[in-house]
């Protein structure tokens, strides 16, 4: 490692397409961590920008015969450590800047877990709930076709994210495979088992969140059994996390989806909640519980608040009223810089996204390795390898945070940035 130098201020002009609040949040976090990371100024400057971004328009034929065109993006932040890896989301708020922020966080997440990957993210700006299955399939296949020049098992490997799932990945895998003329399961992760998916992948992020919460609480000397937990976002991550918490004896007192939440201070009957959701397609109306809005849910008194919905949920506006003892970020970027500062002032520790939700990419890595080897592992082996990766990362973060007096977020970012910076220094800037 080169001798310590102060972090550089942004030397270039920020290109207008990256003028996005979430990207500024990601760069703001990077800048805060660089002060402590002791990395070379030129290396730090390189890491502020994504390596590559693809912006595309996706025409699809709707069921009524009309044509609609949607904006789609894929951003690759860093390929220093290996192929890039990251989810695909379908959401009305998707922008290039948002994808760039999420791609940067993926770089740090992979580096923190010492996975041989860099970060990427992509998505289509659309309302996924307005589509039929047929429309979703056509959108996915055309988007995949537009991505062909930059994705590949050794280049960039997509995965599911908000409003995409196993079926989306199966269509992506099939579309890619049709182009190259043979089955390529290793092009995406988060696929169905029948086409090379991995056991435990669907639950991995939520399981990983709870592994981190459990270990953090153990180190803090706070019992998880009986702890009151609130989970914002009862989706792929939050739904599993809620069940894993309940399995460990915690009391899940509040959960929510985009339409609002439900609260019962004695603990919710999650099996009942699941049955209700299947019938009603939402949480609203579930009893015995009180209806709460998402802003109210975040401020409920609890021991553990799991943020598993979306970005920018804890902000300067509500951070002063959060009444949790500890916050765990299952979602990416749910706490703004100001929100983070206020929670720190109030001594509410935050288990940061790049550590806490990294279980998903960890098992995605296991899926890719299994696909490449055409040799599959069982559930117990994967759970045990996942626990090893998550606790090793948490241990390195905790040790640095204690030694230097850093927040867990700073410690996680400094650890990740050093991993990437060491590799970038060794490789050098081409040419
Ligand atoms: P999902 O679509 O399955 O679930 C999201 C949940 O949040 C749903 O219940 C939805 O109704 C709710 N929600 C959405 N917008 C909301 C809002 N504005 N306010 C309140 N609730 C809202 O998505 P997911 O895969 O569970 O992802 C959730 C978060 O976790 C995202 O930030 C995603 O990037 C992150 N993440 C997901 C994975 C994964 O493996 N799925 C891995 C790492 C990180």
DSSP string, 103-125: HHHHHHHHHHTT-S-EEEEEEEE
Higher pLDDT, residue 155 or 2 = 155
Higher pLDDT, residue 9 or 81 = 81
pLDDT of 11 above 80 = no
Q: What is the reported pLDDT for 272?
A: 96
Q: What is the reported pLDDT for 287?
A: 85
Ligand 1 center to 181 CA (angstroms): 34
Q: What is the reported pLDDT for 4?
A: 41
Residue minimizing CA distance to atom 19 of ligand 1:
258
Conformational region of residue 271, where left means phi above 0, alpha means psi within -120 to 50, and beta covers everything else: alpha
Return mean pLDDT, the chain.
Answer: 95
User: Can you tell me which atom of ligand 1 is nearest the CA of 332?
Assistant: 32
pLDDT, mean of residues 256-280: 95
CB atoms within 10 A of CB 382: 22
> Which of these, 322, 302, 320, lies nearest to 230 by C-alpha position?
302
Q: What is the reported pLDDT for 118?
A: 98
pLDDT, mean of residues 134-158: 98
pLDDT of 290 above 90 = yes
Q: What is the reported pLDDT for 84?
A: 98
Catalytic site residue 121?
A: yes
pLDDT digit string, tens, across residues 343-361: 999 999 999 999 999 999 9
- HSE-up of residue 324 (Cα within 13 Å, Cβ side): 30
Ligand 1 center to 245 CA (angstroms): 18
> Which of these, 110, 213, 126, lies nearest to 164 by C-alpha position?
126
Q: What is the reported pLDDT for 12?
A: 64
Residue minimizing CA distance to atom 18 of ligand 1:
258
pLDDT digit string, tens, across residues 15-65: 899 999 999 999 999 999 999 999 999 999 999 999 999 999 999 999 999
Residue minimizing CA distance to atom 30 of ligand 1:
331
Ligand 1 center to 160 CA (angstroms): 11
pLDDT digit string, tens, across residues 76-104: 999 999 999 999 999 999 999 999 999 99
Residue minimizing CA distance to atom 40 of ligand 1:
360
pLDDT, mean of residues 285-313: 96
Q: What is the reported pLDDT for 7?
A: 44
Conformational region of residue 261, where left means phi above 0, alpha means psi within -120 to 50, and beta covers everything else: beta
Percent of the chain with pLDDT over 90: 94
Helix, strand and coil content of the chain, in percent to the nearest 5, comes to 50, 20, 35
Ligand 1 center to 257 CA (angstroms): 9
Ligand 1 pocket test target in 136, 257, 283, 333 with most atoms within 8 Å of CB: 257
Ligand 1 center to 223 CA (angstroms): 27
Residue minimizing CA distance to atom 16 of ligand 1:
258
pTM (two decimals):
0.94
Ligand 1 pocket test target in 75, 94, 162 with most atoms within 8 Å of CB: 162
- Catalytic option among 109, 121, 191, 236: 121
Q: What is the reported pLDDT for 2?
A: 41
Ligand 1 pocket test target in 25, 258, 261, 262 with most atoms within 8 Å of CB: 258
Q: What is the reported pLDDT for 36?
A: 95
Residue minimizing CA distance to atom 21 of ligand 1:
258
Cα-based distances in Å from 345 to 187, 311, 340, 356, 407: 44, 21, 9, 21, 11
pLDDT, mean of residues 248-252: 98
Q: What is the reported pLDDT for 386?
A: 98
Instruction: Print the SS3 string covering 192-237.
Output: CHHHCCCCCHHHHHHHHHHHHHHHHHHHHCCCCCCCEEEEECCCHH
Lining ligand 1 with CB less than 6 A are: 160-163, 205, 232-238, 256-258, 294, 308-310, 330-332, 357, 360
Q: What is the reported pLDDT for 141?
A: 98
User: Can you tell me which atom of ligand 1 is nearest the CA of 233?
Assistant: 7
């Amino acid at each position: 490692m080169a001798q310590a130098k102060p972090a550089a201020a942004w030397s270039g002009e920020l290109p207008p397409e990256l003028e996005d609040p979430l990207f500024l949040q990601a760069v703001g976090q990077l800048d805060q961590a660089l002060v402590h990371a002791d990395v070379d100024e030129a290396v730090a400057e390189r890491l502020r920008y994504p390596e590559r971004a693809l912006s595309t328009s996706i025409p699809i034929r709707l069921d009524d015969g009309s044509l609609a065109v949607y904006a789609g993006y894929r951003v690759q932040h860093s390929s220093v450590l290996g192929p890039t890896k990251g989810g695909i989301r379908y959401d009305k708020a998707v922008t290039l800047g948002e994808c760039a922020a999420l791609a940067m966080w993926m770089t740090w997440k992979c580096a923190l877990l010492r996975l041989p990957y860099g970060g990427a993210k992509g998505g289509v700006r659309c309302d996924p709930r307005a589509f039929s299955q047929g429309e979703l399939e056509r959108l996915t296949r055309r988007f995949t076709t537009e991505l062909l020049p930059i994705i590949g098992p050794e280049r960039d490997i997509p995965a599911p994210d908000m409003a995409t799932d196993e079926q989306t990945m199966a269509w992506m895998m099939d579309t890619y495979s049709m182009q190259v003329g043979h089955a390529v399961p290793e092009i995406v992760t988060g696929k169905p088992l029948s086409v090379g998916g991995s056991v435990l992948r669907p639950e991995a992020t939520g399981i990983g969140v709870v592994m981190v919460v459990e270990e953090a609480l153990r180190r803090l000397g706070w019992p998880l059994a009986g702890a009151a937990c609130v989970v914002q976002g009862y989706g792929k991550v939050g739904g599993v996390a809620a069940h894993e918490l309940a399995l460990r004896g915690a009391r899940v007192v509040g959960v929510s989806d985009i339409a609002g939440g439900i609260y019962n201070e004695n603990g919710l009957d999650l099996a009942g909640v699941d049955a209700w959701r299947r019938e009603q397609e939402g949480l609203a109306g579930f009893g015995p519980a009180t209806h709460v809005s998402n802003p109210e849910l975040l401020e409920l008194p609890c021991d553990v608040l799991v943020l598993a919905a979306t970005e920018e949920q804890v902000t300067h506006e509500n951070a002063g009223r959060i009444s949790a003892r500890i916050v765990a970020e299952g979602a990416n970027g749910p706490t703004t810089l100001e929100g983070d500062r206020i929670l720190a002032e109030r001594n509410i520790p935050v288990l940061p996204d790049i550590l806490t939700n990294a279980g998903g990419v960890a098992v995605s890595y296991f899926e890719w390795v299994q696909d490449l080897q055409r040799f599959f592992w069982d559930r117990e082996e994967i759970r045990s390898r996942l626990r090893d990766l998550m606790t090793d990362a948490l241990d390195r973060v905790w040790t640095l945070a204690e030694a230097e007096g850093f927040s867990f977020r700073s410690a996680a970012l400094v650890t990740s940035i050093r991993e990437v910076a060491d590799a970038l220094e060794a490789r050098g800037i081409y040419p």
